[in-house]
Amino acid sequence: MADNVKPKVRVPKTAAAGEAITLKTLISHPMESGQRKDDAGNLIPRSIINRFTCEFNGQSVIDVTMEPAISTNPYFEFEATVPEAGTFTFTWYDDDGSVYTESQDIAIG
Amino acid sequence: ALGASVAAAMPFRAFADASEDSIAAFTGGAEMGTEGLTLTAPEIAENGNTVPVEVSAPGAVSIMLLATGNPTPDAAIFNFGPLAASQTASTRIRLAKTQNVMAIAKMADGSFVQATQEVKVTIGGCGG
Amino acid sequence: GRWGRLAAQQALTQDQLLQFDTYGNVSLIHVTDIHAQLKPIYFREPSVNLGVGPNKGEVPHITGADFRKLYGIDDGSASHYALSSGDFSALAQGYGKMGGLDRVATVINAIRADRPDAILLDGGDTWHGSMTCYETQGQDMVNVMNLLKPDAMTFHWEFTLGSDRVREIVQDLPFAAMGQNIFDAEWDEPSEDFKPYEFFERGGVKVAVIGQAFPYMPIANPGWMFPEYSFGIRDAHMQDMVNEVRGMGAELVVCLSHNGFDVDKKMAANVTGIDVILSGHTHDALPEPVLVGETIIVASGSNGKFVSRVDLDVRDGRMMGFRHKLIPIFSDVITPDAEVAKAIDAERAPFKDRLEEVIGRTDDTSLLYRRGNFNGTWDDLICNALLDQRDAQIALSPGVRWGPSILPGSDITREDIWNVTSMTYGKAYRSEMTGETLKLIMEDVADNLFNPDPYYQQGGDMVRVGGIGYKIDITKPIGERISDLTLLATGEAIDAATPYVVAGWASVNEDTEGPQIWDVVEDYIASQGTVSVPDNTNVVVVE
Ligand SMILES: [Mn+2]
Ligand SMILES: [Mn+2]
């Protein structure tokens, strides 16, 4: 498991029912591409987050297949519709089998 | 300079072989249109290791993003769910050198559209 | 016009330089790119400043006699000396040094005597460029500029103090620190450390000033020094800001810009609703504003040589007319402001002995200058120092636009050396580079200068070279501009596969090792005693 993997999300606290809101996510991760060599000239093995999903109350907002060209500390920004009060769940899947999750509630108001 | 968006028609063969396989896998070799997908990237990367890119294709099911000049061009495939308020997403990608960034959108009717934009990756230095 | 008349006058007076028929209801005062020059200096304007694409043959890409002809400036006149190249050494003897912030203060105070609520705007590149600025991390400039009471400022080289230091200064600034294009890099949102714009109520007019910092900060300068920020031109956000301030009742929209002139022209065409762009970065001094659509673009030179005054008639929410003057700061003609003069001396006092020490001399034929698209004599001297002191075959020196000139037959002080080298990443590296890499670097820099699209013109002038000659065709695309690369020592063509020993400075890489460039140049000049630097004939330019 990569060290110090820390997800951060930006979600509004409230929205109107049916409103489109902007979500931003970041996760600290080296995203080792598998292309780089170490000082001894050996290829550093690939170790990336390969999938990111965002769901709201169990329904998909976005599901991203991630490849080595995604930068260190992967960033995503996208828009979600908020039909009702509930919870956004963000999940990152690491090559090493680790799964990182973050969730945030949103109220209707 | 963020904010420029270009949808240029490029011949398929213009993309290096590494991209071709990915494109074929995504489109099944289907023809690609050039209308309806907007790819937004800076003309010049502030930092080639983290280049902001936005893709937007109203009505798309999914959008593939490629760094066609990278040794491994694949960047991401965005699959939009029922609660996506728009078929728009932004991320940051690595560009090994000046190259065309390419996006291909799969539309709800099964058709494909593509857009490319050149992003310059410069060695930099010097200033007024 | 005004310049023709001024040109005809041999005996300058302060009253003539300041003469201005106050007009309309709003006055703007613009200074920019002072590069920490507190004291008067000589500064030769470029003799080569080539425009490409739509800007070929357009100002500011007109120099020397062509420039004088365009503006009706007489040969040998004060305006010839101040604004153009040619006969510089001879004219400098007659007209003397220019600039000095104490003289700038006098001019600003005189404008404020006419129009007490004139808005003073600083276009940036202020806290960089001298020994005292380096040693005080910009504090000398902050202290002296505060006495001039600016109303707002934007930024470029300031960020090379490092973002912590910039924030420390900005927190205490008694005026607005602006940049609508300064974004938080992590979340790609406008930075909370800088304002996008500021409102001023002047002469019954609501004036909005929008800041535009240097867009290519992490490309032209070391991004690792300010990793929290992202820049870019951000036309769309600029348009949003213009719309926002217009929506809030702005009757006059001014953009205080550090884009550079050609970028400002393109931005003026892309963004609607800006009345005035006060342009900085490319150090151009233009006696008249350039009009793009309904936007006027004002260029106010560099190094404290000029102050621009722009009077505007704003009625019914519209700019109805303007009157402009680029005021040259002839330091022997304009009386220094006593308070500011005293403050400058106080800032310099702790460094006085170090500053004034004479290191060497120029011979009677060598004018040291930098400004121009290709190698100037100062650059050649720096490259010679690198070749000699770092035992290299090839030298590379950045094509920055700052750095005052030294007349033939003059002492070169330590201050003079720092004025052309001072920076926070000045280490002189020594490394091996293949001919292929060298060509790649030169092509890259050339494209950042001669790309026909101004939005790709991210940096300074062409990288300066020592130990090699080359030919450049500026009309060609990237990869095809540079040819005939020759190692001067042997007369042989540079070989793509051969490694060469290259010395240079101002690398944007964080782990650069080596002595500071000002020490390298000082040691070299001291070893030479008197330096002789003829104009460079090893760069052949095809237009
Ligand atoms: Mn400058
Ligand atoms: Mn600048």
Q: Tell how far the Cα of C155 is from the centroid of ligand 2, in angstroms.
A: 8
Residue of A nearest to C185 (CA): A75
pLDDT surpasses 70 at C7: no
Q: How far apart (Å, rounded) are the C-alpha atoms in residues A79 and A66?
A: 18
Whether C354 has its CB under 8 Å from any CB of chain B: the answer is no
Q: How far apart (Å, rounded) are the C-alpha atoms in residues C465 and C538?
A: 9
CB atoms within 10 A of CB C135: 15
Cβ under 8 Å to C: B residues 13-52: 42-47, 52
> What residue type is assigned to position C329 of the chain?
I
Whether B41 has its CB under 8 Å from any CB of chain A: the answer is no
Q: Residues A90, A91, A97, CA angle at the centre, nearest 5°?
A: 170
Q: How far apart (Å, rounded) are the C-alpha atoms in residues A88 and A76?
A: 14
Whether B26 has its CB under 8 Å from any CB of chain A: the answer is no
Return the half-sphere exposure (C-beta side, CA atoms, 13 A cut-off) of residue C106. Answer: 21
pLDDT at B17: 65
Q: How far apart (Å, rounded) are the C-alpha atoms in residues B127 and C461?
A: 8
Residue of A nearest to C187 (CA): A24
- Going across the sheet that includes C229-230, the strands are C189-190, C183-184, C229-230
Q: Tell how far the Cα of B127 is from the centroid of ligand 2, in angstroms.
A: 6
With CB atoms and an 8 Å threshold, state whether A26 touches C186. yes
ipTM above 0.85, yes or no: yes
Out of A50-54, C473-477, C507-511, pick the least confident.
C507-511
pLDDT at C1: 33
Q: How far apart (Å, rounded) are the C-alpha atoms in residues A44 and C424?
A: 34
With CB atoms and an 8 Å threshold, state whether A77 touches C188. yes
Q: How far apart (Å, rounded) are the C-alpha atoms in residues C221 and C305?
A: 25
Break chain A into its structural domains and give their ranges: 6-35+46-108
pLDDT surpasses 50 at A33: yes
More confident call, B10 vs C79: C79
Region B20-42: what's the mean pLDDT? Answer: 95
Whether B34 has its CB under 8 Å from any CB of chain A: the answer is no
- Going across the sheet that includes A86-94, the strands are A14-15, A99-108, A86-94, A49-56, A59-66, B74-80, B60-67, B99-107, B112-119, B32-33
Domain A6-35+46-108: give its CATH superfamily: Immunoglobulins (2.60.40.10)
Return the half-sphere exposure (C-beta side, CA atoms, 13 A cut-off) of residue C414. Answer: 11
CB atoms within 10 A of CB B29: 11
Reduce the DSSP state of residue C374 to 3 states and report it: coil
Whether C459 has its CB under 8 Å from any CB of chain B: the answer is yes
Bond into B73 cis (ω within 30): no
Cβ under 8 Å to B: C residues 355-384: none
A41 to each of A37, A44, B49, how far by Cα in Å? Answer: 5, 9, 21
Looking at the DSSP assignment, which residues form a beta bridge with residue C406? C368
Whether B86 has its CB under 8 Å from any CB of chain A: the answer is yes
Note the Cα C529 to chain centre separation in Å.
Answer: 30
Q: How far apart (Å, rounded) are the C-alpha atoms in residues C466 and C488?
A: 9
More confident call, B106 vs A2: B106
> What residue type is assigned to position C365 of the chain?
T
pLDDT at B124: 75
Return the half-sphere exposure (C-beta side, CA atoms, 13 A cut-off) of residue B106. Answer: 18
pLDDT at C146: 98
With CB atoms and an 8 Å threshold, state whether A77 touches C186. no
Q: Write out pLDDT tens, residues A41-59.
A: 899 999 999 999 999 999 9
Residue pair C255/C277 in contact (Cβ under 8 Å)? The answer is yes
Contacts of B27 (CB under 8 A, 6+ apart): B104, B106, B112
pLDDT at C6: 41
